[in-house]
Amino acid sequence: MKQLDAPVVVIGAGPAGLAAAKALADGGVGVLVVERDEAPGGLPRFCRHPGFGWAYTRRFESGPAFARRMLAALDPARVAIETRTSVLSLEAGPTLHLLSAEHGNLHLRPRAVVLATGIRERPRSARLVPGRRPERGVLTTGQLQQMVARGVPVRGRRAIVVGTEHVSFSVLLTARHAGLKVVAMAGPEDRVMSHAAAGLLARAAGIPIHLSTTVEDIEGSVHVEAVTLRGPDGTHRIACDTVVFTGDFVPDCTLFRGDDVDPATGGPLVDQFGRTNLPGVFAAGNVLRAVETSGWAANEGARVGANAAAYLDAPAAWRENAARIAAGPGVAYVVPQFHAPANGMAALPVSLRADRDMRPARLHLDADGAEYWRGNLPSARRLRRVAVEADAFATLPAGRPAEFRFD
Amino acid sequence: MTDAYDIAVVGAGVVGCAIAREFSRYELRTILIEARSDLGDGASKGNSAILSTGADTPSGTLECRLVTRGHARYLAEAPALGLPFLATGSLTVVWNEEELVRLRAMHDEMHAAGFRTGELVGPDFIRAKAPHLAPGAVGAIWEPEEGIVDPFSTPYAYALDAVTNGVAYRASAPVASATRHGGGWILDTPQGAISADIVINCAGLWADRVEALAGYADFVGRPRRGQFLVYDKSARPLLDTIVKPVPSPTYRGILIAPTVFGNILVGPTAEEIDDPDDWRTTREGLATLEAAAHRLIPALARHEITATYCGVRPGTDRPEYRIIPRPDANWVTVGGIRSTGLSGALGIAEHVAGLVLPEMKRAARKARAVPVRVPSLCAADARPWQAMMPADRAMHEIVCHCEGVTLGEIRAAMASPLPPRSLKALKRRTRAMFGRCQGFHCAARVQAIFDGAAG
């Protein structure tokens, strides 16, 4: 394997991982990117519709085109990508145990690691949706997209899409490729979670959207035969052969466990430079929290990759004097969760999620009983990103626990 | 054309597979017939995956005797088959003084019945064995000999052993009619007719229907549905033993236990249903289990649920096994195996062989059996990919990332003499798609491999 002894290993060849690899290579650092799938590119690889990478490339491209662009930007002299390679463990050191189809078991000891393992959707079971478990036809978006991209027959005609997030509407496009007619959308919230326009377009296309509605039953033994929805008007049974559970993303963060993970995000605890609890291990992209766009994830990867390069030049004490930034009243979570003193690295944008809808919303950053920063927002929506200007942390004293709260 | 056999075993659940394996040791033409596309696809696919000692079955019953024997035989024979047993022990826990009285009575009955390994223990012992269990347990019976097994590989290993040792196997072959012919029977199936000198009906949830084909009506099937939750592997450190309540005569209550695959399992509910094919989880059932899980181990509330499933137990209108030999008719009924089929299978098989073999005068025991070993799916056991240099590189290519299942393992499962005929059976053979993402990442690829191999 080329560059087995690369100073930095990036785990995951999606938008964040590839951007991190590019930033490292641009900084003159050799990188090994390990990807467990058969090809690099991450989830955008399976999303044919346009809109990927905008925040990073300022281009309006399909997922595969964005993935190709990111790959083409890598200097092969500095970046090696090993596909069909799984990371079995990541321990202090950092030390990695890899399993590679090509090379078997490998134990690596790079100087730094960038964790960029992305997200997945919560499946039907984790959502406690009752009913039968037909062998075929109960899907997540990810599975449907992969089936279409890999040419695996979907063998369905009529689909129900569960969820009203952005990704739920992207399923309408994928469904068309799969020859599926979407007969209804349903979501537990009382409004369309994506842009209102998406809902209007879907309805204009004749797709009813059932809000405040849950899946009450799934019928069928081999194939899905029908789904029963429960909404404000009671239950109704819809004959269909496919049900796609969309959205409800969670970080795919299996290499970090226990105290190294923020229970609120499900991703690793990091400071504003992307440093995790484990010295030498950085994290970037949607593994930090679900879910941002591919362009946002790539931007995080670029910054954290550059930070990892800087860390190799000057491996200062890891996260010394970093203070916890807590999620206070009204705040579901904050990323990054730690604030460290300035050290010349590039800071990630601070973002948080409100735990309920607020209009207007006043956000405070408090420490030691005093307010260090305040922002007035026209509104905050539950679990929608609230971006906080980078200067929110500017005057915060290093090493002092602080808390974001809404009033 | 009718294929002729000495013995036809109807139903390839864990009990039928064990019985077929038992007969494979004799110079007999035996066939194992399964109605569904895959073995172990009825009651055997949805249970609590515990190997009981028999101590908590009603003493003095045939069930008690056969479960006890099944437990002993499993411990002796499973290792050679590659089947795991994790000796977790079990705690039958009570939470108040009233229950403690019942617990003491249960303990005394167990000892009187000859089960001497269970001991009464107090709160300190419970805390040491199950530190994350909610506080307030006042006492328990600690049964060190109970443990957990792989419910999917068990019937597969028995069937593979049977087939390797000469038993014929026919799937997707529901018996449509049973006709007396000479001293034996002709069974009609969509896969052709089968004649057998002796029929053993172990059709589980459908045993009463097969009985009716032969004109017997000694019991009525009363299927009982049990729903389960499976927690993410992140929860596994919370529990290392089985925790269960004091059973009633018909319901063993909601237990919580680790699985050999590295999860935590909670269940079952108990619901009388009319249709043995009613494999539905319900909102109420799942909510009941989640509440029980949080009540028993509060820390579980911080962990994701990986899977929900239900099992249907082959109960009858009688509270005991319905094993009925009919020597005059050459028909043996093995019904009403309730919820102890997994634990009792090898005991039941031995018992049934004991009923039948005296009728088969010419059936000599074979000098030796061809050994069979199935791949262990137990999280604690080594996987093929842990070898530094396996012969096959596909053994190093993980396809199902959550469960760490390689392309090589999936191919090996597809190449079995008893290949999986459905994606669900493949899942049970390999664990692919069984993990926390439930196929988000791998299902498309696994399906492509399956469809390609299944052709």
Q: How far is CA B435 from the centre of its chain?
A: 20
Residues near B78 by beta carbon (within 8 Å), at least 6 away in sequence: B84, B85, B149
Q: Is the CB of residue B125 less than 8 Å away from at least one CB of chain A? A: no
Q: Is the CB of residue A84 less than 8 Å away from at least one CB of chain B? A: yes
Helix (H, G, I), strand (E, B), or coil: what is residue A158?
A: strand
Helix pair angle (B423-430, B443-454), 10° resolution: 110
Distance between CA atoms of B382 and B385, rounded to whole angstroms?
A: 8
Question: In DSSP terms, which residues pair with B86 in a beta bridge?
Answer: B148
Tokens of A186: 């349903």
Name the strand (E) or helix (H) holding A310.
helix A294-313
Residue A71 main-chain phi, psi, to 5 deg: -70, -40
Reported as a pLDDT band with limits 50, 70 and 90, residue A1 is very low
Q: What is the pLDDT of residues B318-345, one digit of tens each?
A: 889 999 999 999 999 999 999 999 999 9
Q: What is the pLDDT of residues A182-230, one digit of tens each?
A: 999 999 999 999 999 999 999 999 999 999 999 999 999 999 999 999 9
Select B3-46+152-219+318-356's CATH number: 3.50.50.60, 1.20.1640.10, 3.20.20.210, 3.40.630.30: 3.50.50.60
- DSSP state at residue B137: -
Q: Is the CB of residue B299 less than 8 Å away from at least one CB of chain A? A: no
Cα distance from A143 to chain B (closest Cα, Å)?
5
Q: What is the DSSP string of A355-392?
A: SS-BSSEEEEEEETTEEEEEEEES-B-BTSEEEE-GGG
Distance between CA atoms of B114 and B112, rounded to whole angstroms?
A: 5
Tell the residue number behind the tokens 């066939």, with chain if given.
B31
User: If DSSP states are collapsed to H, E and C, what string results for A79-103?
Assistant: EEEECCEEEEEEECCCEEEEEECCC
Q: Is the CB of residue A257 less than 8 Å away from at least one CB of chain B? A: yes
Distance between CA atoms of B331 and B329, rounded to whole angstroms?
A: 5
Q: Provide mean pLDDT across the span B423-447.
A: 96
Give the nearest chain A residue to B237 (CA atoms): A258
Distance between CA atoms of B336 and B315, rounded to whole angstroms?
A: 5
Q: Which residues of A43-69 are buried (b: 16+ CB within 10 A; e: fewer)?
A: bbbbbbbebbbbebbeeebbbbbbbbb
Q: What pTM does this model have? A: 0.95
Tell the residue number behind the tokens 């399992």, with chain if given.
B265
Find which of B232, B309, B440 to mutate to test the A interface (most A CBs within 10 Å of its CB): B440
Cα distance from B236 to chain A (closest Cα, Å)?
12
Query: In chain A, what residues touch B448 (CB-CB under 8 Å)?
Result: 150-152
Task: Provide the H-helix boundaries in B149-205.
Answer: 153-164
Residues near A44 by beta carbon (within 8 Å), at least 6 away in sequence: A14, A15, A52, A53, A63, A64, A66, A67, A294
Q: What is the pLDDT of residue A257?
A: 83
Task: Provide the H-helix boundaries in A127-273.
Answer: 141-150, 166-177, 196-204
Question: In DSSP terms, which residues pair with B196 in a beta bridge?
Answer: B5, B185
pLDDT at B455 over 60: no
Q: B440–A121: do the CB atoms touch at under 8 Å?
A: yes
Cα distance from B158 to chain A (closest Cα, Å)?
25
Q: What is the pLDDT of residue A382?
A: 84
Q: What is the pLDDT of residue B307?
A: 96
Q: What is the pLDDT of residue A194?
A: 92
Residues near B285 by beta carbon (within 8 Å), at least 6 away in sequence: A130, B227, B269, B271, B310
Helix (H, G, I), strand (E, B), or coil: what is residue B180?
A: strand
Tell the residue number behind the tokens 């920063």, with chain if given.
A373
Query: In chain A, what residues touch B308 (CB-CB under 8 Å)?
Result: 125, 128, 130
Q: B286–A36: do the CB atoms touch at under 8 Å?
A: no
Instruction: Report the greatest alpha carbon distance in chain B.
Output: 67
Helix (H, G, I), strand (E, B), or coil: what is residue A104?
A: strand
Give the nearest chain B residue to A105 (CA atoms): B388
Strands (E), A200-313: 209-210, 214-219, 226-231, 234-239, 242-245, 249-251, 281-283
Helix (H, G, I), strand (E, B), or coil: what is residue B387?
A: coil
Q: What is the pLDDT of residues B372-384, one digit of tens each?
A: 999 999 999 988 8
∠ CA(B100), CA(B104), CA(B110), 5° rounding?
Answer: 140
Reported as a pLDDT band with limits 50, 70 and 90, residue A393 is confident
Residue type, A81: I
State the CB neighbour count (10 A cutoff) for residue B278: 13
Find which of B41, B227, B410, B438 to mutate to test the A interface (most A CBs within 10 Å of its CB): B438
Q: What is the pLDDT of residue A387?
A: 85
Reported as a pLDDT band with limits 50, 70 and 90, residue A317 is confident
* Residue in B287, B396, B401 nearest the CB of A104: B396
Query: In chain B, what residues touch A104 (CB-CB under 8 Å)?
Result: 388-390, 396
Q: What is the pLDDT of residues A237-273, one digit of tens each?
A: 999 999 999 999 999 999 988 899 999 999 999 999 9
Reported as a pLDDT band with limits 50, 70 and 90, residue A383 is confident
Q: Which of these, A2, A108, A101, A85, lies nearest to B390 by C-alpha position? A: A101
Distance between CA atoms of B432 and A305, rounded to whole angstroms?
A: 33
Is residue B104 within 8 A of residue B175, CB to CB? The reply is: no
Q: Is the CB of residue A196 less than 8 Å away from at least one CB of chain B? A: no
Cα distance from B393 to chain A (closest Cα, Å)?
6
Residue B202 main-chain phi, psi, to 5 deg: -125, 55
Residues near B82 by beta carbon (within 8 Å), at least 6 away in sequence: B153, B157, B373, B374, B375, B376
Chain A neighbours among B 58-117 (CB < 8 Å)?
A: none
Select B384-454's CATH number: 1.10.10, 2.30.29, 3.30.70, 1.10.3470: 1.10.10
Which overall architecture, per CATH, does domain B86-148+222-313 show?
2-Layer Sandwich (3.30)
Q: Provide mean pLDDT across the span B396-415.
A: 95
Tokens of B152: 């999917």
Cα distance from A281 to chain B (closest Cα, Å)?
21
Q: Which of these, B53, B30, B295, lies nearest to B167 by C-alpha position? A: B30
Within 13 Å, how many C-alpha atoms sit on residue B306's CB side?
24
Q: What is the pLDDT of residue B316?
A: 94
Q: What is the DSSP string of B282-323?
A: -HHHHHHHHHHHHHH-GGGGGS-EEEEEEEEE--BSSSS-EE
Give the nearest chain A residue to B406 (CA atoms): A101
pLDDT at A166 over 60: yes
CA distances (Å), origin A193, targets A166, B250, B385: 7, 47, 43
Tokens of A216: 């009450």
Q: What is the pLDDT of residue B125?
A: 98
Q: How far is CA B86 from the centre of its chain?
A: 15
Query: In chain A, what residues touch B385 (CB-CB under 8 Å)?
Result: 99, 105
Q: A86–B404: do the CB atoms touch at under 8 Å?
A: yes
pLDDT at B248 over 90: no
∠ CA(B300), CA(A96), CA(B237), 5° rounding?
Answer: 20
Within 13 Å, how many C-alpha atoms sit on residue A193's CB side?
22
Residues near A254 by beta carbon (within 8 Å), at least 6 away in sequence: A117, B402, B436
Q: Is the CB of residue B424 less than 8 Å away from at least one CB of chain A? A: yes
* Interface size, chain A vs chain B, as Cβ–Cβ contacts under 8 Å: 114
Find which of A82, A85, A122, A128 to mutate to test the B interface (most B CBs within 10 Å of its CB): A128
In chain B, where the domains are located: 3-46+152-219+318-356, 86-148+222-313, 384-454
Q: What is the pLDDT of residue A381?
A: 87
Q: B281–A131: do the CB atoms touch at under 8 Å?
A: yes
Tell me the average pLDDT of chain A. 94
Distance between CA atoms of B55 and B315, rounded to whole angstroms?
A: 19
Task: Give just the sign of the alpha carbon dihedral B369, B375, B381, B386.
Answer: positive
Q: Which of these, A365, A351, A236, lies nearest to A300 by C-alpha position? A: A351
Tell the residue number behind the tokens 């009990």, with chain if given.
B15
Q: Is the CB of residue A126 less than 8 Å away from at least one CB of chain B? A: yes
Q: What is the pLDDT of residues B2-51, one digit of tens each?
A: 789 999 999 999 999 999 999 999 999 999 999 999 999 999 999 999 99
Is residue A379 within 8 A of residue A359, CB to CB? The reply is: yes
Reported as a pLDDT band with limits 50, 70 and 90, residue A167 is very high
The order of strands in the sheet holding A112-115 is: A79-82, A31-34, A8-11, A112-115, A281-283
Q: Provide mean pLDDT across the span A98-120.
A: 95
Cα distance from B279 to chain A (closest Cα, Å)?
6
Cα distance from B151 to chain A (closest Cα, Å)?
18
* Residue in B389, B436, B444 nearest the CB of A104: B389
Q: B402–A254: do the CB atoms touch at under 8 Å?
A: yes
Tell the residue number behind the tokens 């319905």, with chain if given.
B322
Q: How far is CA B322 from the centre of its chain?
A: 18
Query: In chain B, what residues touch A37 (CB-CB under 8 Å)?
Result: 441
Topology alike, domains B86-148+222-313 and B384-454: no
Q: What's the N-to-C CA distance of chain B in angstroms? A: 27
